[in-house]
């Protein structure tokens, strides 16, 4: 891990463009409780593909992921970075992931990707992201637990074995921080 003075751990959340959370943000409505799912929402095959892209791009960018989870229409992660570089890093991570994913699905001619093609002509992710700086070990441990268990909170089935392995390889929440 980087020197503690340089590294700031943050809980990051970002959503699919036009998701229920993005719509509420645009309309300035604060989400209350559990909101019924709306399109866009990834199916199993699409979910595996986007998780693979998120993990690959994080590796390319040398993004220090402590924990990571994908929940159908949004991503939760704990990122360790320098304060000044986080916005740029998130822009690169989301942008490159979107580009790679759109290239991947445009090359495929079958399956549910046709729905995604028309849904995401200008990008995959909403512009903004949520960040909460984690100030101590207790907040960090609580945030890791929250991220790791978030799919269950949303009533989603566990990730595929492939996606689970990709996330294990891309993160280090089992290491001593």
Looking at residue 3, its pLDDT comes to: 45
Mean pLDDT estimate for the chain = 79
The first and second tokens of residue 10, run together, are 């943050």
Does the structure show a pLDDT above 90 at 80? yes
Question: Greater confidence, 32 or 7?
Answer: 7
Q: Residue 87 belongs to what H/E stretch?
A: helix 86-107
Helix (H) or strand (E) holding 79: strand 74-81
Q: How many CB atoms lie within 10 A of CB 160?
A: 14
* CATH fold label, 8-170: Alpha-Beta Plaits (3.30.70)
51 contacts 70 by C-beta, under 8 angstroms? yes
Q: Which residue has the tokens 């399956």?
A: 111
CA dist 154 and 121 (Å) reads 27
pLDDT at position 117: 47
* DSSP structure string for 122-157: S-SB-S--EEEE--SHHHHHHHHHHHHTHHHHTTPP
Q: Note the pLDDT of residue 41.
A: 65
Q: Residues 119-136: what's their mean pLDDT?
A: 81
Report residue 4's pLDDT band, with 50, 70 and 90 as the boundaries. Answer: very low
pLDDT of residue 30: 55
pLDDT tens per residue across span 14-51: 988 876 655 555 555 555 544 444 445 677 888 899 99
Tokens encoding 65: 């992921």
Considering the entire predicted model, what is its pTM? 0.78
What pLDDT score does 83 carry? 75
CB atoms within 10 A of CB 154: 14
């Amino acid at each position: 891990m980087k020197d503690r003075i340089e590294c700031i751990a943050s809980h990051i959340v970002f959503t699919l463009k036009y998701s229920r959370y993005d719509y509420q943000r645009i309309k300035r409505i604060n989400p209350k409780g559990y909101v019924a799912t709306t399109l866009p929402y990834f199916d199993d095959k699409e979910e595996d593909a986007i998780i693979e892209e998120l993990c690959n791009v994080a590796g390319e960018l040398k993004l220090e992921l402590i924990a990571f989870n994908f929940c159908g229409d949004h991503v939760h992660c704990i990122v360790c970075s320098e304060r000044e570089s986080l916005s740029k890093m998130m822009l690169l991570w989301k942008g490159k992931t979107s580009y790679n994913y759109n290239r991947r699905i445009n090359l495929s001619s079958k399956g549910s990707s046709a729905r995604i093609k028309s849904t995401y002509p200008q990008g995959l992710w909403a512009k903004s992201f949520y960040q909460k700086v984690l100030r101590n070990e207790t907040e960090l441990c609580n945030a890791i637990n929250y991220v790791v268990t978030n799919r269950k909170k949303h009533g989603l089935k566990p990730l595929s074995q492939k996606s689970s392995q990709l996330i294990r390889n891309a993160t280090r929440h089992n290491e001593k921080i």
